């Protein structure tokens, strides 16, 4: 009733027992008689007793909270990863605290510190784009707090991470286009300071090479991979002396931009130009034609990162060598690349 919260002390007074007995009864400790336990349970329910996790955490040194930081929660990929993390850790009794770095190093540092102060038992992060110095993460490790990175990770630093195989994903996509009969395949590439885009480009090149197709510099359009960039890229390609017969874009959004332009030019997809993107954004299954793309298993990525964290937590005492887990990327074949065979 009322605004009051019942504590162990209140229960103890009420039953004329010691606080420790109440505590043990509630946690079903063996040294408390069944009769007493039942009395305690009954009263606890009656007084709506809720344990103060803060106090328990302080005493036990376990907060049951894990910190998650993403550039922004407001993007499908990150939200899905977070969802994956949450569902897995929730089952183990953890709550997650969310922070957003907004791709800014300064607030990343501030947030990491806040998480550590909140006594999180672990930190799961996708690094901000602008981050160049990683000492704030090293400090986390020094404190013995398990740290797991996902998607974006640091080269050189020996930290556990979960990523997808961008290279294989790209390779498969391009191989598929070739299998469909495409021979002049263009590529929308991202900024090459990010490994994910470098790997996709490499997958593209190697797939061409593996099928004895020439690599043509002209067919690679490097850009920010936004919708607008995709439009510009398509316009660019259309002005080439000879058209490509496929485009593999390192992002779905750029692929969609291209799709818009190609359609206005009455170019048939996939018959004249086949199209494949990357990320499997929800929209790609709603376009017309539906877009072939590469799925990143974002929710699975979150689950995997969470499991890796749990594993690290268990082996916390023993020296645990950081692990990298590479998830398979999955090619999703849809209309935009599927040429009918008659």
Binding site for its own copies (CB under 8 A): 1-3, 5, 48, 50-55, 57-58, 63, 65, 72-76, 79-80, 82-83, 86-87, 90, 95-100, 113-119, 139, 142-144, 227, 256, 260, 263, 282-283, 286-288, 299
Query: Is the backbone peptide bond immediately before 270 cis, with ω within 30 degrees of 0?
Result: yes
The option from its own copies, DNA, none interacting with 243 (CB < 5 to 8 A, set by class) reads: none
Q: Verify binding: residue 113, DNA, rule CB under 7 A.
A: no
One-letter-per-residue 3-state SS of 253-293: HHHHHHHHHHHHCCCCCCCCCEEECCECCHHHHCCCCCCEE
Q: Cβ closer to DNA: 61 or 93?
A: 61
Q: Exposure string (b/e) for 192-215, b if CB count within 10 Å is 16 or more?
A: eeeebbbbbbebbbbbbeeeebee
We find the least distance from the C-beta atom of residue 285 to its own copies, in angstroms, to be 9
- Binding partner selected for residue 33 from DNA, its own copies, none, CB under the kind-specific 5 to 8 Å limit: DNA
Residue 63 CB, nearest approach to its own copies (Å) = 6
Integer Cα distance of 125 and 233 in angstroms: 32
Burial profile 99-125: b = 16 or more Cβ within 10 angstroms, e = fewer: bbbebbbebbbebbeebbeebbbbbbb
Between 17 and 174, whose beta carbon lies closer to DNA?
17
Per-residue x/- mask for DNA, residues 177 to 216, rule CB under 7 A?
A: ----------------------------------------
Between 136 and 205, CB nearer to its own copies: 136
Restricted to residues 27-86, the positions that interact with DNA (CB under 7 A) are: 27, 31-33, 35-36, 49-52, 55-56, 58-61
Q: How far is CA 159 from CA 109, 149, 226, 322, in A?
A: 17, 7, 30, 5
**Kind of pairing, strands 330-332 and 293-295?**
antiparallel
* Residue 107 CB, nearest approach to DNA (Å): 23
Kindly tell me which of 7 and 102 has the beta carbon lying closer to DNA. 7
Which token pair is 270? Answer: 């996939």
Residue 168 binds which entry of its own copies, DNA, none, with Cβ cut-offs from 5 to 8 Å by kind?
Answer: none
Residue 246 structure tokens: 């496929």
Angstrom CA distances, 340 to 266, 274, 304, 329, stand at: 19, 12, 38, 25
Give Cα 205 to chain centroid, integer Å: 26
CB of residue 13 to DNA, shortest distance in Å? 11
Of the pair 114, 213, the CB lying nearest DNA is at 114
Residue number with CB closer to DNA (8 or 177): 8
Looking at beta carbons only, is 60 or 183 nearer to DNA?
Answer: 60
Member of 13, 20, 138, 218 binding DNA (CB under 7 A)? 20
Beta bridge partners of 185: 246
Identity of the residue, 32 or 173, whose beta carbon is nearer to DNA in the bound complex: 32
Name 5's Cβ contacts closer than 8 Å, sequence gap at least 6.
50, 52
User: How many residues form the binding site for DNA (CB under 7 A)?
Assistant: 29
Binding residue (CB under 7 A) for DNA from 14, 19, 96, 260: 19
Give the number of other Cβ atoms within 10 Å of residue 19's Cβ: 14
How far from chain centre, in Å, is Cα 176?
26
**Binding residues for DNA, per CB under 7 A?**
5, 7-9, 16-21, 23-24, 26-27, 31-33, 35-36, 49-52, 55-56, 58-61
């Amino acid at each position: 009733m009322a605004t009051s919260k019942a504590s162990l002390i209140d229960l103890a007074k009420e039953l004329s027992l010691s606080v420790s007995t109440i505590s043990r009864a509630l946690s079903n400790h063996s040294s408390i008689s069944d009769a007493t336990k039942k009395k305690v349970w009954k009263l606890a329910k009656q007084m709506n007793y809720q344990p103060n996790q803060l106090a328990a955490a302080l005493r036990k040194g376990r907060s049951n909270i894990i910190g998650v930081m993403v550039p922004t929660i407001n993007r499908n990929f990150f939200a899905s990863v977070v969802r994956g993390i949450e569902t897995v850790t929730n089952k183990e009794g953890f709550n997650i605290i969310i922070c957003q770095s907004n791709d800014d190093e300064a607030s990343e540092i501030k947030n990491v510190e806040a998480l550590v102060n909140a006594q999180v038992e672990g930190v799961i992060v996708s690094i901000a784009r602008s981050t160049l110095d990683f000492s704030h993460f090293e400090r986390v490790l020094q404190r013995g707090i398990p740290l797991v990175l996902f998607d974006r990770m640091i080269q050189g630093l020996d930290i556990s991470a979960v990523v997808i195989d961008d290279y294989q994903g790209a390779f498969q996509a391009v191989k598929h286009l070739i299998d469909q009969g495409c021979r002049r395949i263009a590529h929308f590439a991202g900024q090459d300071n990010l490994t994910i885009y470098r790997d996709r480009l490499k997958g593209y090149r190697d797939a061409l090479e593996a099928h004895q197709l020439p690599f043509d510099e002209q067919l690679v359009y490097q850009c920010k991979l936004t919708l607008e960039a995709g439009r510009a890229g398509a316009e660019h390609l259309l002005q080439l002396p000879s058209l490509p017969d496929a485009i593999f874009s390192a992002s779905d959004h750029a692929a969609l931009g291209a799709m818009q332009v190609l359609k206005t030019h009455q170019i048939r997809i996939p018959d004249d130009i086949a199209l494949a993107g990357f990320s499997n954004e929800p929209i790609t299954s709603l376009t017309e034609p539906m877009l072939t793309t590469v799925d990143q298993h974002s929710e699975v990525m979150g689950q995997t990162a969470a499991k890796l964290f749990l594993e690290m937590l268990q082996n916390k005492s023993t020296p645990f060598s950081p692990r990298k887990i590479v998830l398979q990327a999955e090619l999703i074949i849809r209309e935009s690349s599927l040429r009918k065979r008659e």
